[in-house]
Structure 1
């Protein structure tokens, strides 16, 4: 797997929503100590906590004053960096893989992001509207699969079978990608197809990625053929965002848990944050899934939840 070049060797910490609230709104002793250590690391140029699109989606659910205050505090430790949307990162990772380019911080992050994004009412309103639309699409998209999970909820599954099922589900996603790439080769263009819901069509995720590759990254026939060969040989193993997304989606389905909007936001966060971050916050359930899948080891990232023991371990890590 291609590693990320971090020339300044900064410690990158990905803050989930509960972590940003803990750091900037809590009076808890452990969180206060962690904030102190992060501030010290940031001031010395050794630590950054990049913002993310998901941070804005979730923060605008607060009252306006609380949202502005939290965003302002978080921005102080971002160093002007923010994660790009998952689609943009995925297409860049694929382009760099096929063209054998280096993976750097710029692959994942925007730089020179202005702080106080949420201090402008129009920005808050835009994120609120986007979150409402996202919620609606995800609820509809997960409706059928959640009905299936209800039926299988009490079925036990052993570890060996679980691994086979996860692998099979990931293979289906890879096959879908290859099929659409072959369509592109045969037709010499691709029309983004939509998945129809009551609230409107949602662009098919594979087509969105292919559109980015052909339009932004100017992929030609030769590179498309190379990508098909890569996917047939390695699946998503060398494309971190897709590897993580499909793995998490598969394990969530295996636990027969009703998939929610928050689950999807968690997947977006982890798919983009895990490959780059040295430290990533995730709730206890997501942490358990990441560790069970071995994604923490695969991507060399230390995972912490909000438990007292985890916070104490993080303090020791940062000191």
Structure 2
């Protein structure tokens, strides 16, 4: 029997990504919805960027944050989908060790960045509704740049230890990852070492990023809801709440799949492996696909420009 996958080495030269373990025969069929989601994500997010860049009237805090979200979604989906589709279509399961660690870093960094952008969007909605007369003076371009820089630095620095921790362990059992991409815990589980530091640090990142962000968003929307309920007329309340609708949908599209993935990974020990893989993919693929659709339908400025774009093309 070959020892190619059981050699005592510090770092393997490659890892093997299985895609959906146990469903290899259905990989081509599974690739159809994955490819469709990726195509929608690319088209939708580029449309958001094009429209905001093209229309000076949309050069404001809310639309800048939407552009940040669109760029993050584009890079996040592109960091996993091409390799996943190559597994499905060409059985290209090998990934270089360094490439695996690079993918790991970008996945976790961009996920944390997306959560930070959602917090920034909640801050924008809070200021716009609770302090409307001071919105332009509070959220100046300088403040927006600082918020964007803080989101990027927080995400980049907090997730930076992931690849270094993963690289530090010896891998002497197998190089087969039962996943379609290099997720941190899935990789370090292959190490011949006590990986509790990885597990504890991963939990720290989850609670310090996702946990704190959810709390901040919840507090912001409690105050927003309180302000909306004290508006003088029902029409004003409905209109103002409608402006928050798209952001609430985007928040749900990101955090609900992420929560399901986290719960099934940590506590779903009896859940089939292919379901774990499905949830791990959904929480990275669903938001980039849904965000531009939600923004296009629910955000009036973008919806009107999209309709004008297609109306002019049709005439």
TM-score norm. by structure 2 comes to 0.31
Instruction: Point out which structure has higher relative CO (alpha carbons under 8 A, 6+ apart).
Output: 2
Q: Say which structure is richer in strand.
A: 1
Greater helix share, structure number: 2
Which structure has the larger Rg over C-alpha atoms? 2
